Amino acid sequence: MAAVLTAALAERRRRATPTAPGDEALELARLMRVGADPRRADRLNRILHSLHGLPGRPVPYAVVVDDDACRLLLPRPLPQAPHPWTTNDDGSTWTLPAGAEPAPPSDVAAAATSDCSGLVTMGRDEQGADILINLGAVDGDVVVGGEPTMAAELIAALALELCTNPWSQGNSVITVGLPGSLQRIAGERMQTAMELDDVMDAHPAAAEDVLSGHRRGEQVFVLAAGQETAQAKHDFNLIRTGRAEGARWRIDLDASGTARIDPLGVTVTATRATESELDGLVGLLAPAAPAPPGDDSRPPVPDPPEPPLSTAALRAASVRILVLGPAAVHAPAPAEPERLDLLTEAAVCLALHPEGIRPGAFGAMLWPLGVTSDVIAATVQRLRDWLGTDSQGVPHVRQDAEGRLTLGPEVVCDWDVLRSLLSASRHSEIHREAELLLEALRLVRGPVGEASRTERYSWLARVRTARQADALITDAAHRAAQILHDTDPEGAALAVDTGLKVVDLDQRLWRDRLRLAADRGRDELIACTNSLLDLTGVEDVSHVDPATAALVEELAPGASIRRATA
């Protein structure tokens, strides 16, 4: 689940969705990055979206995925599996080795559909494999018994996954008796009901379904805690706490968080979502309160350096640390290639903590799963040797009187230069403002820490630099586009392109791009509109942003806001 929620955070960042996370929420984001396994999630997503094209169209009732392979457990044997799949148990198990997964679906519609939309993570077994069950293939109720609080937390985690998994689009998810914060996180994907009886009244089983036991049409998942056993027939998939009467599957959860899944005969450390974790997710994923109508306030420039730093200072510095894009460090001495990634992360970490950081906390950031003090000390010394000394012969990596690690003043970071330029632009006449905005935007190569290895930089989720940079860069790009639209459309377009490199679905910048395209003609506007639709994977601009759709209709009356076809 951590990988899915981390991906959801990344999607919010792509759309520049405003959030106001507190310190606890930021710490939760860091922990999710540490615990996430995006490679497994990506492998599984590609496999699930390919199943409909395989002979026999296998639909598993459970999936086991680890670093070596993905195994599908099938309700009926399919002994003939296409290469590179292999079969076991007379065709009841299909296995695909890691690395043999198909390419991601290129078709938008195919990417949004899956025969396994009810697949959710139950937990991880002792061998480190993730165990998932397909709630839509159970053909009966799933009951979670045992310790009541933990059982409800497991069901809350399943509800959240059904609303966020990339293969679960199109599901209807209804919760009963679960924390209200779930809906604040999931939004329109989730509905709530007061009582289970209310859901049954709204979804009675059709006559033929009562006779056959089969469900039809859209998958509806109802997840309930603290409700009485459902006695009546119903036309939905029910996952509930309580007694096992009438249940197809039973999962027993003890006070340590260990769950036994009876039909599979396996024991896992269960996936759970506690109320405190859900509150943290609200801070990360729920939108902040919208600004009042007509409020054009701009994000403040956080702690601009004193004295200000210029691009000339960045170019002249003997040690330059670049974070506005892929992380990079330019230093006089070479670093050992095998240690370059770690030392680069260490330098970036110090650069983004100008107030200093104690060695123990520094080690916890670089090695979130644990490290010994001698390894920390050796790394600090290697970093000190690599970055060298300043013009006074003092090491660039130093410790203050309280033992905190800091960088010397002759080390220059592009993030500091950006803030200096943007702060100066706020107090300049309009022509100078435009010059400073463009100068700042030329520093930007992409999002902060872009393409950093997934197992590194988990601490970035805890600091506010990435969010602050996103807000400042997109604001600067929009302001430059406003100033230059009439006098320098090429400069305005360059500013917009830079902002969209950082937040590629920022709708304020897309509206700037559409205005510039409209100045070049109706065909250019339609082509630009289609580019936005291609990027978002939808067919109608109003599904991206109603304000953007209204602008297109204003710029080109009568033009379709739906995808143009050849």
pLDDT in tens, 148-183: 888 999 999 899 888 888 788 778 899 998 988 888
Name every residue whose Cβ is closer than 8 Å to that of residue 72 and which is 6 or more positions away in sequence: 58, 60, 62, 63, 93, 94, 95
**SS3 call for 543:** helix
Residue 220 has phi, psi (to 5 degrees) of -115, 125
Q: Where are the beta strands (DSSP E) in 149-205?
A: 172-176, 190-193
Look at residue 357 in the predicted model and tell me its pLDDT.
94
Over the Cα atoms of the chain, what is R_g? 27
Between CA 463 and CA 458 the distance in angstroms is 10
Element (H, E) at 405: strand 405-407
Say yes or no to pLDDT of 459 above 60: yes
Task: Decide: 434 and 483 in contact? Cβ < 8 Å.
Answer: yes
> Residue 91's pLDDT is what?
93
CA distance 302 to 548: 30
Q: State the average pLDDT for the chain.
A: 84
Output the DSSP codes for 431-485.
HHHHHHHHHHHTT--SSTTTT--TTS-GGGGTSSHHHHHHHHHHHHHHHHHHHHT
**CA gap 362, 65 in Å, rounded:** 33
pTM: 0.62
| Number of neighbouring beta carbons within 10 Å of residue 325 | 18
Distance CA 422, CA 472 (A): 8
- Between 175 and 3, the higher pLDDT residue: 175
Can you state the angle between helices 38-48 and 2-14, rounded to 10 degrees?
90
pLDDT recorded at residue 367: 92
pLDDT of 14 above 90? no
If we measure between CA atoms, which residue out of 176, 157, 52 comes closest to residue 114? 52
Give the residue carrying structure tokens 């519609």: 109
Residue 33's pLDDT is: 47
35 confidence band (pLDDT: 50, 70, 90) = very low
The least confident of 78-87, 107-116, 155-164, 417-426 is 107-116
> In this model, does residue 423 exceed pLDDT 60?
yes
Q: Which sign, positive or negative, has the C-alpha torsion 566, 532, 451, 288?
A: negative
pLDDT at 296: 56
In the chain, % of residues over pLDDT 90: 54
- Can you tell me the distance from the alpha carbon of 174 to that of 231, in angstroms, rounded to the nearest whole number? 18
Which of the residue ranges 469-483, 488-502, 543-557 would you say has the lowest mean pLDDT? 543-557
Going by their DSSP bridges, the two strands 319-322 and 328-330 should be labelled as antiparallel
The helix (run of H) or strand (run of E) holding residue 252 is strand 247-253
pLDDT of residue 451: 58
- What percent of the chain clears pLDDT 70, i.e. is strictly above it? 83
Q: How far apart are CA 215 and CA 209, in angstroms?
A: 6
What is the mean predicted confidence (pLDDT) over 484-493? 95
pLDDT in tens, 169-227: 778 899 998 988 888 888 778 898 888 888 887 776 654 443 334 444 568 899 999 87
Higher pLDDT, 450 or 374: 374
Give the H/E segment covering residue 269: strand 266-270
Structure tokens at 468: 């602050």
Q: With CA atoms as reference, report the closest residue to 447 among 46, 9, 3, 1.
A: 9
**Beta-carbon neighbour count of residue 546 at 10 Å?**
12
- Residue 104 pLDDT exceeds 80: no
Q: Give the angle subtended at the CA of 491 by the CAs of 488 and 495, to the nearest 5°.
A: 140
160-174, 321-335, 419-433: the lowest-pLDDT one:
160-174
**The pLDDT value given to residue 183:** 84
Task: Compute CA 374 distance to the chain's CA centroid, rounded to the nearest angstrom.
Answer: 34
Structure tokens at 551: 């602008």
> Is the distance from CB of 492 to CB of 484 less than 8 angstroms?
yes
pLDDT-based confidence at residue 291 (cuts at 50, 70, 90) = very low
CA 153 distance to own-chain centroid: 22
Q: How far is it, in rounded angstroms, from Cα 554 to Cα 549?
A: 9
**Model confidence over 520-543: pLDDT tens digits?**
999 999 999 999 998 887 888 888
Dist CA 239 CA 251 (whole Å):
10
State the average pLDDT over residues 47-58: 89
H helices then E strands: how many in the chain?
20, 19
Q: Span 474-499, mean pLDDT?
A: 96
Residues β-bridged to residue 176: 193, 224
Query: What is the structure's pLDDT at 10?
Result: 55
CA dihedral of 207, 201, 218, 228, whole degrees rounded to 10: -100
Q: What Å distances lie between residue 5 and 8, 275, 278, 559, CA to CA? A: 5, 16, 12, 37
> CB burial class (10 A; 0-12, 13-18, 19+) of residue 464?
middle
In this structure, of 56-65, 265-274, 437-446, the range with the lowest mean pLDDT score is 265-274
Highest mean pLDDT among 151-155, 197-201, 229-233, 275-279: 151-155
Is 535 within 8 Å of 503 (Cβ atoms)? no
Under the banding of pLDDT at 50, 70 and 90, the label for residue 135 is very high
pLDDT classification of 321: cutoffs 50, 70, 90: very high
Return d(Cα 196, Cα 209) in angstroms, integer.
Answer: 20
Bridge pairing between strands 247-253 and 141-146: parallel
Q: CA of 79: how far to CAs of 61, 96, 115, 251, 472, in Å? A: 17, 14, 20, 29, 57
Cα separation, 117 vs 172, in Å, equals: 10
Give the bridge partners for 96, in sequence order. 70
Neighbours of 226 (CB within 10 A): 14
Contacts of 356 (CB under 8 A, 6+ apart): 400, 402, 404, 405, 406
Q: Which pLDDT does position 34 carry in this prediction?
A: 39
DSSP state of 144: E
Contacts (Cβ under 8 Å, ≥6 apart) of 42: none
Q: Is the pLDDT of residue 295 over 60?
A: no
